[in-house]
Amino acid sequence: MPRLIVNADDFGLTAGVNRAIAEAHARGIVTSATLMANSRACSDAVTLAGECPSLKVGCHVVLIDGVPVRSDVLSLTKGTSRFRTSLKDFAQAVLRKKISSDEIQREAEAQIRKIQAAGISVTHIDTHKHTHLLPHVLRAVVKAAKACGVRAVRNPFEPRLCRPRGAHRHWLRSAGVAAFQIFYREFRKVMCEEQMLTTDGTVGIVATGILDQELLAGILDALPEGTWELVSHPGYCDSDLRSAGTRLLESRQIELQALTSRETTQRLTSLGIGLISYADLKEL
């Protein structure tokens, strides 16, 4: 029987995103969420997490977009008060070794510890825009997680066989996801060496920004045996979200509808897909 973690990213981005994630958990299929420690609505997310004890919460480590928790990470900010905003620029700087691995580790650890200090038991980590695809980032982030007692991390690689028909609409993103597959073997090596828990892969990456009922159904239909994660971005498109600097706006409400629909829950049942969270990986 396939097992599926349904994780909502960007917990803490805005109050509307927080509310949507709580709803997608209470009356939908979301089992976990990853919280952004340096986000504008982080405190609101912490409050909601306390009201939803069955929602497992991880840390959405942010290394691009936004403001760092620490002030001594100059290679991450290029000497400014903010992170880079371009994934391409960030990746090029990482590959040219212009970003310090020690700074990545310090910043990631600070973000995890900030969430833990708020009373949340952090079950896992992932990264904003999947920056831990890059081995230089991955090793530093894993060190930070282990230092904080966190032993589970997102597998940010999406197998081609799990991409549903219709995802070709996002051809540029598909090409990017395919290009980053060159780092997959290194990811598995690090997971083994560091004895970290992870899944067989993540689905829904190519569909980010276009995930609707039809695409979600296709993803579920294509899910093979094993343990997988579905990455999602539910939210409400309000003025706060429009000013947050995210490209995902109206698409978040469409995702929310798909994640909470009766059709989706019935499809999970008919396909025999079991919902789990990262907290369950230890038992598996």
List, for residues 67-91, the tens digit of each pLDDT value.
999 999 999 999 999 999 999 999 9
Residue 151 to residues 8, 36, 162, 199, 235, Cα–Cα distance (Å): 19, 18, 26, 12, 28
Predicted confidence (pLDDT) per residue in 163-190, tens digit: 656 555 565 566 667 778 899 999 999 9
Q: What is the tens place of the pLDDT at every residue in 2-15?
A: 999 999 999 999 99
Report the pLDDT averaged over residues 23-52.
97
Cβ of 263: how many Cβ atoms within 10 Å?
A: 11
pLDDT for the residue numbered 168: 54
Q: Which residue has the higher pLDDT, 221 or 166?
A: 221
Q: Residue 157 pLDDT > 90, yes or no? A: yes
Beta carbons within 10 angstroms of residue 96's beta carbon: 8
**What is the model's pTM?**
0.94
What value does the mean pLDDT of the chain take? Answer: 93
Percent above pLDDT 70 for the chain: 93
Q: What is the pLDDT of residue 166?
A: 58
What are residue 256's phi and psi, to 5 degrees? -55, -45
Per residue in 195-206, pLDDT tens? 999 999 999 999
Nearest to 13 by CA among 204, 230, 248: 248
The set of long-range contacts for 171-178, using a CB threshold of 8 Å and a minimum separation of 24, is: 173/205, 173/206, 173/208, 173/209, 174/206, 177/205, 177/206
For residues 37-51, give the mean pLDDT.
96
Residue 283 pLDDT greater than 70, yes or no: no
Residues 84, 53: contact at Cβ < 8 Å? no
